[in-house]
Amino acid sequence: MIIERYILMCDKIMKDEEIFKAHFLESFLELANDKVSNVRVSVAKTLLHLYQEKRKLCGDPQIVTLIKKMKDDPSRDVRSIIDSIYENYISKLFDKVNTQDGLDELNKMGFSQIITKKAKEFNDLTIQQDYLNNKDQADQSNSSMNI
C-alpha cells in the first residue's frame, strides 16, 4: 500500500521533469522490477498516464527502455497496459513523424533524439535518391551514345 502511494506520488511529481529525474526516477525504475505484480501494474498505469498527458518525460530514454522491458513482464495485466501504451500512443506518435505538427508534438514530449534520427534517415534517403537519379541519367546518356 505504501509503495503504491509512492508510485501515485511519482505520477504527480512527473509534471516537474527536473525534480522527478533528480530525486525519483531511479527508484521508480526499480519498482518496475518489484516481485509483487500489483506494484508493477501501478508502475504501468503511471506510464500510461504519462502518455495520456503527453508529458515531456515520454521521450526520456530510460522511460522508453522501461516500457520496452515491461512488454515482456510476467503479469498479463502489466503487459496489457503496456500494449495499450504502444497501440494508443507510441505507434500513433510515430505515424505523425512525417508531418510538421507531428514533429512538433514529438519534440514537446521529449523525442528529440528520434526526430534527429528521422531527419538523418530522410537526409540519407534524399542523398541515395539523388545518387540513383544521377546514375539513371548517366546510364540513359550512355545508352543513347551507343545507339
Report the distance separating Cα 81 and Cα 43, nearest Å: 10
Residue numbers of the chain with a pLDDT score lower than 70: 93-103, 105-147
37 lies in the same domain as 78: yes
- pLDDT recorded at residue 136: 57
Report the distance separating Cα 114 and Cα 117, nearest Å: 5
95 lies in the same domain as 128: no
72 lies in the same domain as 34: yes
92 lies in the same domain as 143: no
43 lies in the same domain as 84: yes
- Express each pLDDT in 115-131 by its tens digit: 566 556 655 555 555 55
78 lies in the same domain as 116: no
31 lies in the same domain as 80: yes
Report the distance separating Cα 15 and Cα 19, nearest Å: 9
- pLDDT recorded at residue 144: 56
- Express each pLDDT in 1-19 by its tens digit: 789 899 989 999 998 989 9
Residue 69 in contact with residue 47, Cβ under 8 Å?
A: no
The total number of structural domains that make up the chain: 2
- pLDDT recorded at residue 57: 80
Q: Which of 18, 17, 34 is nearest to 7 (CA)?
A: 34
- pLDDT recorded at residue 88: 83
- pLDDT recorded at residue 54: 80
Q: Is the whole-model pTM more than 0.75?
A: no
87 lies in the same domain as 142: no
- Residue range of the domain that includes 41: 2-110
Report the distance separating Cα 120 and Cα 113, nearest Å: 11
- Write the single-letter amino acid at 7: I
103 lies in the same domain as 67: yes
138 lies in the same domain as 99: no
